[in-house]
Structure 1
Amino acid sequence: MDQASAPRARPGLVFLLTAAGVAAVLTPGAAAQGRTDAPAPAAAQPARTASAWLPYWDDTKAAYRDALQHAAQLHTVSPFWYRATSTTHIKSQPGAGDKQVIAGLHQAGIKVVPTVNESMDATAMAALLHDRTRRGAHIAALLRLVASRAYDGVDLDYETMATTGSARMRERVRTGYALFADELCARLHAKGKSCVITVMARTGTSGKAYDYARLGKAADRVRIMGYDLHWAEGSPGPLSSLAWYEEFLRYATRTVPRDKLEVAFPGYGWDWTQGVKARAKHLTWKEAEALRRRKGAAYRFDAKSGTPHFTYRAGRAVHHVWYQDARGVAAHLPVLRKYGVRNTGLWALGFEDPRFWKALGGE
């Protein structure tokens, strides 16, 4: 990623942020003296080491304000605005392309790199990726999207292809996606845009549809989803764990340059009903804590995984809630430091424990 080309706040300026963006710009001296022409003293700016996704289905305005509030730590925000449904069609989600949001984030010095996910399964994606004409048409559709607004690049979060089909079909996805990333990232770089690729954690049992080495060469950033070790359609348990972070970071840092890696933390949890084969309910950190207090459940912290959890009853049903908070993030950060990974992420803005940002700043 070309750091010199990233939109940044000018050193020494104080930005007065509102929900609509930046209301005024004053130097520190002017802020104190009511002047706008006083020279700003030289001051070291904090490192921006975090990125975050902005959801479209939750309180978008609150998520946007969250980003502005923590602009000093954020280098990139990825609005979750688009879905590829075919070779050439990219569906816009509600609120996609909001120019006020884009402008406000830019004024706060944050890159805007929208996320595109895909609804095509492994068989469909393998066919697309290995067909040179269709692959080129899909790249062209993504380039048109990037050019449609003042975007700084694109983030690809292609997961359906990685979790469907046979092992043989996912291997075809792996080789085809590497070709696709080479071509897409080269085209983006030629236009001065960033190429970000989001991947599942690569372990002995997951993430095999992604060629980390090839993707790491092509992309500016490789974002690892450091969550859903236990997920909505599985058994109750921590969304992440210290041992799991060790496993996937050991592999990732052998195959991708450390300065390109990001590890995204969860700001949410799952509520499973014991003995019921049904999808668990999604809870943001705020919702999980409110539920715990309402039910009078004890806060428990699992030191082995580094995550909080609690149990409650609803009628005859027993519920198990596992989630993540700032304490858990602080427990996981030493593993990132051990492997030399500084860049972090958040799924998603507005979901998280407000102390999350202080935990990151404590690195």
Structure 2
Amino acid sequence: MDHASVSRIRTGLTLLLAAVTLAAATPAAVGATSPVPSPAHGAADPDGTRRTGSAWLPYWGDTEEAFQDALQHADQLHTVSPFWYEASAATVKSHPGAGSIRMIDGLHEAGIKVVPTVTETLAADEMADLMHDPERRTAHVDALMELVQSRAYDGLDLDYERMAVTGDSAARDRVRTGYNALAKDLCARLHARGKQCVITVMARARGNGKAFDYEELGKVADRIRIMGYDLHWAGGEAGPLSATDWYEDFLRYATDTIPRNRIEVSFPGYGWDWTTGVKARAHHLTWKEADALRRQEGVGYHFDDASGTPYFTYQKGGRTHEVWYQDARGVRAHMPLLEKYGVQGTGLWALGFEDPDTWAALRGE
């Protein structure tokens, strides 16, 4: 048989295979609006590992340590979200180090998807106006799509918090409905390109998180990441960042409104240092910094069984400091709540912050 005949046969087989592939793919592709299936939530990878976790990688601090932390625990991580971008009306700003090809390639080589996080700068009123204006909303989504195509990214994580804590209740009502429209548009366009759409939300419990419509967002996003922290925050009174009964509250609501396999609960690897009697914001501490401070001040380790979090107090400059944070023991206290509500997805804020034993706690050990 001559080369021309072999070439014709190969060409015919190639066309036949393409036709079969297209026919199989077309019914699911035409008019598809459902999220792209994710390998997360307990699905076994080809190497036999079970990756149920995601984690954020901060752009400040020791980013190399955070990167190596991800690689060291790749067998548990399906996704890493570098905290690299900030969106305004129709532009996206890069933080220092954003788009590092070395890190993107390194995470991919470890079998980890790279889904960078985008925050927003606009307050509730401005953001609501933008999202309810089809033309401005499209421009905003265009900027996000340009970003996701700028590198070998696997999707985007929207962590839009400022709009959820500013303005009055009426503004946040408009934010909620507008965000539904924005998420629907963005997720559809991401899915059309085979990219993941992840939405990070505040816990819906005790009057908080009302700017996020769990039910509608859960219909369009691949994953809804619930921030299981800042029950007490830097600008408020001292107290635990998370608590067992609080987890019960928001997990009950979340699992009533979002498919369980799309939920991730993110645990804190940090804490806050409040100064008693002072209205200034609390000082942020990673677990490593909190533990080092406790040892430096020579104070004992205390664990609050009611909340499931550690704490300690110390004296400085004639004032009492109260530190609440989270460690592996606390994560172990809260993991049974995820099991109770059938949630396998976990997250961590943030890489390089955490008690090293947290990884075993997230495995249920």
Q: Distance in 2 between matches of 1:336 and 1:9?
A: 19
What is the deviation of 1:362? 1.9
For 1:322, which of 321, 324, 329 is the aligned residue?
324
Native 8 Å contact 2:40 2:51 kept in 1 = no
**Paired letter, 1:122:** A
Q: Distance in 2 between matches of 1:286 and 1:276?
A: 25
For 1:104, which of 88, 103, 106 is the aligned residue?
106
Q: Quick check: 1:238 aligned with 2:276?
A: no
How does 1:232-271 map onto structure 2 within 5 Å? 232-271=234-273
Q: Distance in 2 between matches of 1:9 and 1:167?
A: 43
Query: Where does residue 52 of structure 1 map in the other structure?
Result: 55
Structure 2: 5+ residue runs without aligned partners?
1-35
Native 8 Å contact 1:9 1:107 kept in 2 = no
Q: Quick check: 1:70 aligned with 2:73?
A: yes
Q: Distance in 1 between matches of 2:329 and 2:45?
A: 33
**Paired letter, 1:134:** R
What is the deviation of 1:143? 0.3
What is the deviation of 1:5? 11
Task: Report Cα offsets for 1:269-302 as digits up to 9, x if no partner.
Answer: 0000000000100000000000000000110000
How does 1:308-319 map onto structure 2 within 5 Å? 308-319=310-321
What is the deviation of 1:4? 6.0
Note the aligned Cα RMSD (angstroms).
1.5
Native 8 Å contact 1:9 1:109 kept in 2 = no
Query: Where does residue 163 of structure 1 map in the other structure?
Result: 165
Q: Distance in 1 between matches of 2:198 and 2:96?
A: 22
Q: Quick check: 1:361 aligned with 2:363?
A: yes
**Paired letter, 2:363:** G
What is the deviation of 1:89? 1.1
**Paired letter, 1:55:** P
Write 1 or 2 for the structure with the bigger share of helix. Answer: 2
Query: Where does residue 33 of structure 2 map in the other structure?
Result: none
Native 8 Å contact 2:92 2:143 kept in 1 = yes
**Paired letter, 2:154:** D
Q: Distance in 2 between matches of 1:192 and 1:315?
A: 56
Query: Where does residue 141 of structure 1 map in the other structure?
Result: 143
TM-score, normalised to structure 1's length?
Answer: 0.89
Native 8 Å contact 1:262 1:343 kept in 2 = yes
Structure 1 residues 4 and 223: alpha-carbon distance in aligned structure 2, compared to 1, 3 A threshold: closer
Query: Where does residue 274 of structure 1 map in the other structure?
Result: 276
Q: Distance in 1 between matches of 2:116 and 2:157?
A: 6
Where in structure 1 do 4 or more consecutive aligned residues deviate above 3 Å? Answer: 3-6, 8-12
What is the deviation of 1:204? 3.4
TM-score, normalised to structure 2's length?
Answer: 0.88
What is the deviation of 1:10? 7.8
Q: Distance in 1 between matches of 2:329 and 2:240?
A: 14
Q: Quick check: 1:189 aligned with 2:191?
A: yes
For 1:285, which of 284, 287, 304 is the aligned residue?
287
Q: Distance in 2 between matches of 1:234 and 1:3?
A: 37
How many positions carry a matched residue from both structures? Answer: 329
Q: What SS class does the counterpart of residue 274 from structure 2 fall into?
A: strand
Native 8 Å contact 2:45 2:51 kept in 1 = no
Higher radius of gyration, 1 or 2? 2
**Paired letter, 2:51:** R
Native 8 Å contact 2:44 2:51 kept in 1 = no
Q: What SS class does the counterpart of residue 117 from structure 1 fall into?
A: strand
Q: What SS class does the counterpart of residue 346 from structure 2 fall into?
A: strand
**Paired letter, 1:57:** W
Q: Distance in 1 between matches of 2:215 and 2:317?
A: 50
Q: Quick check: 1:2 aligned with 2:5?
A: no
Q: Distance in 2 between matches of 1:340 and 1:245?
A: 13
What is the deviation of 1:315? 2.5
Q: Distance in 1 between matches of 2:358 and 2:45?
A: 26
Q: Percent identity, aligned pairs only?
A: 66
What is the deviation of 1:176? 0.5
**Paired letter, 1:2:** P
Query: Where does residue 11 of structure 2 map in the other structure?
Result: none
Task: Report Cα offsets for 1:161-190 as digits up to 9, x if no partner.
Answer: 000001001000000000111111011000
Q: What SS class does the counterpart of residue 164 from structure 2 fall into?
A: helix
Structure 1 residues 210 and 4: alpha-carbon distance in aligned structure 2, compared to 1, 3 A threshold: closer
Query: Where does residue 38 of structure 1 map in the other structure?
Result: none
Structure 1 residues 191 and 323: alpha-carbon distance in aligned structure 2, compared to 1, 3 A threshold: same
**Paired letter, 1:92:** S
What is the deviation of 1:119? 1.1
Q: What SS class does the counterpart of residue 147 from structure 2 fall into?
A: helix
Q: What SS class does the counterpart of residue 141 from structure 1 fall into?
A: helix
**Paired letter, 2:162:** T
Structure 1 residues 4 and 360: alpha-carbon distance in aligned structure 2, compared to 1, 3 A threshold: closer
Task: Report Cα offsets for 1:203-231 as digits up to 9, x if no partner.
Answer: 13100001100000010000000000000
**Paired letter, 1:121:** A
Structure 1 residues 2 and 299: alpha-carbon distance in aligned structure 2, compared to 1, 3 A threshold: same
For 1:150, which of 149, 152, 171 is the aligned residue?
152
Q: Distance in 2 between matches of 1:328 and 1:191?
A: 39
Structure 1: 5+ residue runs without aligned partners?
13-44
What is the deviation of 1:2? 2.4
**Paired letter, 2:110:** A
Structure 1 residues 262 and 311: alpha-carbon distance in aligned structure 2, compared to 1, 3 A threshold: same
Q: Distance in 1 between matches of 2:193 and 2:90?
A: 20
Query: Where does residue 93 of structure 2 map in the other structure?
Result: 91
Q: Distance in 2 between matches of 1:347 and 1:62?
A: 14
